[in-house]
Amino acid sequence: MDVTVDDGVLTLRGEKKSEHQDKDRGWSERYYGRFERSIVLPDGADEENCQGVLRDGVLTVRMPKSQRTTRGRRIPLGDGATQH
C-alpha cells in the first residue's frame, strides 16, 4: 500500500491478492489486481501533519485542519461605465 499527498490530492495505490481453494469440491480461485484512488482534499487540510495506519485490512488516514486560515477577499465591482 502506498499513500501520498501532493498539492491538495490524497492518492492511495496498492495491489490486492486473494486465493480461495476448496479441496473437497476440487476448485480454486485467484483474484489479483492493482488499484489507485485519488481524493481531492478540502481547503484547510494540513498536508504536513497527516498520519495513516493500516490495521487488519482497514486504512485510516487522519489529516487535521491547518492552523493557518485561508481567507478570500471580496472583489469590488464597478458599474461598468468606467473607461480605461
**pLDDT tens-digit map of 4-36:** 999 899 999 999 888 888 889 889 898 889 999
Q: Which CATH topology does 2-62 take?
A: Immunoglobulin-like (2.60.40)
For residue 70, pLDDT over 60 is answered with no
DSSP states of 11-73: EEEEEEEEEEEETTTTEEEEEEEEEEEEEEPPTTB-GGG-EEEEETTEEEEE-PBPSSPP---
Per-residue model confidence (pLDDT) at position 16? 86
